[in-house]
Amino acid sequence: MATAIAGFMALLAAKWTVTATRSAAAQNEALLKEQIAIQRDELAAIAGDQRPWIKVSMTVEGTTVDDGDGIRSILLKTTMANLGNRPATRAMCHLTRDQPTSAAVQQIMDAQKNFDNPSHASFGYTIFPGETYTESGTYPVMYRPNAGGLASVHFGGVAAYKSAHSDHWLFTPFSYVLSFTEEQVGAVSTYDMAQNIDNVSPPL
């Protein structure tokens, strides 16, 4: 009888040990996953601090003549500023052809891989932290003038660039609403340009 009781107690002890071991292992696994998640977030924060961040601003350079259909183009000059802590390499700016929808922006980002072709290695500019680069050319955005020379256009695009320490493309989408007054063809007297915050995707 005593032997049977001792055997039963030993079995219970073994079962408790197995249960406790499994519970401890599960707790250790959960703790390990939590630590990995924390470290991943910390590394992402460090990577965010140690990268270039390009911001795009625009100025109005004038307008073009009527193309015969009552459509003109307002000419925009882009400036890219590096607000990050690392040099931006191969920085370039693209405007969407139509309204800057998320699909139009994504199309530009998908096409950016074409610039990885060795024949396009010279495209883009290097912008050091705290510096800016203003492109020499202009971008035309079509519009139809209203009575009194008043007009409004909605445009956007993407700044694409790389970090000096990475070969991955980084992106800063942007979207603007531009209202302006054209006193005569080719000359804009006043304009107001505001970011369309509701239509801007976060930088990548």
Domain ranges in the chain are 1-49, 52-199
141 strand-pairing partners: 74
- What is the model's pLDDT at position 14? 58
The pLDDT confidence band at residue 56, using thresholds 50, 70 and 90, is very high
Instruction: Supply the pTM of this predicted model.
Output: 0.69
φ, ψ of residue 58 to 5 degrees: the values are -130, 150
* pLDDT higher than 60, residue 177: yes
Q: Are 78 and 93 in contact (CB under 8 A)?
A: yes
pLDDT of amino acid 204: 60
Q: In whole angstroms, give the CA distance from residue 125 to residue 122.
A: 9
Residue pair 22/40 in contact by the 8 Å Cβ criterion: no
SS3 call for 53: coil
Judge whether residue 86 has pLDDT over 70.
Answer: yes
Q: pLDDT > 70: what percent of the chain? A: 70
**If pLDDT is split at 50, 70 and 90, which confidence band does 52 have?**
very high
Using DSSP, state whether 195 is helix, strand or coil: strand
For residue range 105-117, list pLDDT tens digits in order.
888 888 888 888 8
Q: Calculate the average pLDDT of the chain.
A: 78
Decide if pLDDT at 145 tops 70. yes
- The answer, yes or no, to whether residue 75 has pLDDT greater than 50, is yes
Q: Dihedral sign, CA of 142, 145, 149, 152?
A: negative
Least confident of 36-50, 75-89, 170-184: 36-50
pLDDT of residue 34: 59
Contact, 59 vs 77, CB < 8 A?
A: yes
| ∠ Cα 59 161 125 (to 5°) | 65
Calpha distance 100→168 (Å, rounded): 23
Mean of pLDDT values over 39-64: 72
- According to the model, what pLDDT value does residue 38 have? 47
Least confident of 21-30, 36-45, 92-101, 135-144: 36-45
Strands (E), the chain: 54-63, 72-82, 88-95, 125-127, 132-134, 139-143, 150-163, 169-184, 187-195
**Contact 187/63 with Cβ under 8 angstroms?**
yes
State residue 159 phi and psi, 5-degree precision: -95, 125
Please determine, for residue 45, whether its predicted confidence score (pLDDT) is greater than 50. Answer: no
As its CATH architecture, domain 52-199 has Sandwich (2.60)
Compute CA 146 distance to the chain's CA centroid, rounded to the nearest angstrom.
Answer: 34
Residues in Cβ contact with 29 at an 8 Å cutoff, skipping those fewer than 6 apart: none
Report the pLDDT value the prediction gives residue 39, as an integer from 0 to 100: 47
Mean pLDDT for 55-72 is 82
